[in-house]
Structure 1
């Protein structure tokens, strides 16, 4: 626990929730416990128009109760029209936001087989895609990904307007801080530190040079008392968030 009893996991929930601030009536597709709690928290507080799903064919509320049916045709329309914001995981991610969840090592003879490309190219080229990394390390934040699954800013730009129309990576959240791409060349920037984390700690856990704001690096915002109550008592009363991050 840090900062008067707020855990690192709860700062991560807040950071993930903020990814959907100001998005309006869009479909949230969080992957992982903390992104899911974050999306539900956003819906319950500052993003009431956010759409949540059960992962299949139903729209649900922040309490998990069914609110409506989401036909697959409509789901695809949201996906391909930039009206969904996904928060995926990343086995590797580089300075321009290229993401790998497929394999480690050479593609023809990998040292480790992972999930596969899955829907990462479609996600990144058709709607905003953020990332959640529960264990920030140089093995994840790499100079160059072994295989591109999610498309980063450099590769989207090289592919031209058809690839950049809806391409956007709003943020990367890890157990150490929040990162964005608000730089002239869209290289990753350290946007905020979670309380208790130092800049040196983040840089030591990252295999490439990180940009930083000119006016100093802020801390991830504090949760309100109401947000903490929702997280602890209603959205994640079993404390599953702490298993994903730790203290």
Structure 2
């Protein structure tokens, strides 16, 4: 039994088995591993919990923001001032790693949060492109998708908001990973087509394929998303999210 497996077993016995939401927090946290001193900009509850977990454990140099003008510490107290001009300097210089959502995403990582249907007569108006083009071209961007389905994972997005690998320009464009309620995906293929990197415990490769609207790259046997250690599980449950808000995004299974 490996150290990682042993730690996962200890966590299960100490506080009950890890839930699907716990695995999603871990998978999001891993997006910031080895990033160094960059600004973590998570959008959504589980990405935010993942960023806080990463800083408390294996990524202590991460910078966390209150979303406005302050850098905050692990307890939420201000540690520094981050005026908007400085924030933009970090954005355009690759010193920020965002985790955004997606209404649609395709095999090369093009993301849509603007509209569904034809641009001239859309069937649904969404947020608009917002900062997605600048984010994806100027700093690393990962994605969090709480409901993995063919409606989100599409052959071709209706409008490109966040830029994928087949349209990318610029030295800082990078899409490290996509985390969903079923799996972790990345673009570690020769042509940067989306690859199934791991499935969460209890999920099969066939389930992920059925929930994806295009053919995923599958390299041999797909590993399982790692279990949280006993210490990580305690942090998630007792410190980072004691109210269990993560289960509102991903229900226990």
Which residue of structure 2 lines up, in the alignment, with residue 196 of structure 1? 202
Deviation at 1:140, TM superposition (A): 0.1
Deviation at 1:5, TM superposition (A): 1.5
Deviation at 1:105, TM superposition (A): 0.3
Distance 2:128 2:180 in 1: 22
Question: SS state of the match for residue 202, structure 2?
Answer: coil
| Match status 1:238 vs 2:243 | yes
| Match status 1:88 vs 2:88 | no
Question: SS state of the match for residue 154, structure 1?
Answer: coil
| Match status 1:211 vs 2:223 | no
| Match status 1:175 vs 2:181 | yes
Distance 1:222 1:109 in 2: 45
Relative to structure 2, which stretch is displaced further, 119-128 or 66-75? 66-75
Which residue of structure 2 lines up, in the alignment, with residue 135 of structure 1? 147
Quick one: which of 16, 40, 54 aligns to 2:28? 16
**Deviations, residues 76-110 of structure 1 (Å, cap 9, x unaligned):** 11000000000000000000000000000011111
Question: SS state of the match for residue 42, structure 1?
Answer: helix
Which residue of structure 1 lines up, in the alignment, with residue 170 of structure 2? 164
| Match status 1:71 vs 2:83 | yes
| Match status 1:99 vs 2:105 | no
**Deviations, residues 121-165 of structure 1 (Å, cap 9, x unaligned):** 000000000000000000000000000000000011xxxxxx231
Q: Is this contact kept in 2: 1:63–1:235, CA < 8 A?
A: no
Distance 1:38 1:61 in 2: 15
Quick one: which of 130, 140, 156 aligns to 1:118? 130
Q: TM-score normalised to the size of structure 2?
A: 0.93
Distance 2:158 2:145 in 1: 17
**Deviations, residues 156-183 of structure 1 (Å, cap 9, x unaligned):** 1xxxxxx231000000000000000000
Superposed, 1:29-40 pairs within 5 Å as 29-40=41-52
Relative to structure 2, which stretch is displaced further, 61-70 or 177-186? 61-70
Aligned residue pairs: how many?
238
Quick one: which of 226, 232, 237 aligns to 1:227? 232
Q: TM-score normalised to the size of structure 1?
A: 0.95
Which residue of structure 2 lines up, in the alignment, with residue 159 of structure 1? none
Which residue of structure 1 lines up, in the alignment, with residue 3 of structure 2? none
Gaps of 5+ in 1: 157-162
The runs of 4+ residues in structure 1 deviating greater than 3 Å are none
Which residue of structure 1 lines up, in the alignment, with residue 71 of structure 2? 59
